[in-house]
Amino acid sequence: MKYKPIALAAAALAAGLVAAPASADLIPLTAVELSGQGVGATFTTLFLQGAGSATTESGGVLFNGSVFGDAGGGASQSRTFTFADLAIANASQLALLVNLAEPGSEATPSVTTALSPLATNANLANAITLNVYSAAGALLEQHVAAAGLVLNQVASGLGGSGLVFGLNAAEQAQLTNTMALNAGNEVFTVGATFANSQGGPETIAAVRLQQVAAIPEPETYALMLAGIGALGFVARRRRSTN
């Protein structure tokens, strides 16, 4: 699958994300647009859609692969996964791609990460939650994004765009250590709760971080334009002196 950066300024991304507390384990990194549409176009680990007119959707996947809350069933929608599934070797390579597909009643459709209101398994679905299990089903650790993050939709279409979340450095080290003690015997699940939703489905895919192209900073665009301009100036001078 090919990945291409979206021509958005990094400042626009920052405006769409409320700053996360320093204690957040999963942190927003960038936004990307993926080639290919549809749930099956990415390694979808969670398909989330609230019932009826509900504006809060919450759910996730259990260790045995079954779903709870507003999570959709089916192998192409919600599933468990391992590092081997993603062909990655350590925690620094793991990322979650949050794809919003709201109907667009807002100028920029968005949702807000929130604590789960579910009576059961709420701890597995707060904000955006990466749950790490042993092969025997013991919950080894969790990595959770901050509640209160406002996530702006990047582009329409399931499987076609998303906001990338990765582990901070401390959590990468912790998960890498856990993986060393449980190499080949790990199972990951994902849960999430989004408030202020407009009824559209949201998906979370597990991806290899190296596959995701970062958005160039505004300064990078400026330097690129300046460089192109300088090359043009030099070329004109050479032609005039020949």
Whether 227 shows a pLDDT value over 90: the answer reads: no
User: If we measure between CA atoms, which residue out of 119, 104, 91 comes closest to residue 188?
Assistant: 91
* Residue 150 counted as domain residue: yes
What are the pLDDT digits (tens) for 160-194?
A: 568 899 999 999 999 999 988 887 788 999 999 99
What are the pLDDT digits (tens) for 53-79?
A: 789 999 999 999 999 999 998 777 899
Give this prediction's pTM: 0.76
* Residue 228 counted as domain residue: no
Range of 127's domain? 3-216
* Residue 232 counted as domain residue: no
* Residue 210 counted as domain residue: yes
* Residue 172 counted as domain residue: yes
* Residue 167 counted as domain residue: yes
* Residue 224 counted as domain residue: no
What is the total count of domains within the chain? 1
Can you give the pLDDT at residue 133? 94
* Residue 71 counted as domain residue: yes
- Say if CB 64 and CB 97 are below 8 A apart: no
Q: Where are the beta strands (DSSP E) in 76-215?
A: 94-100, 110-113, 128-134, 139-144, 150-152, 161-167, 186-195, 202-208
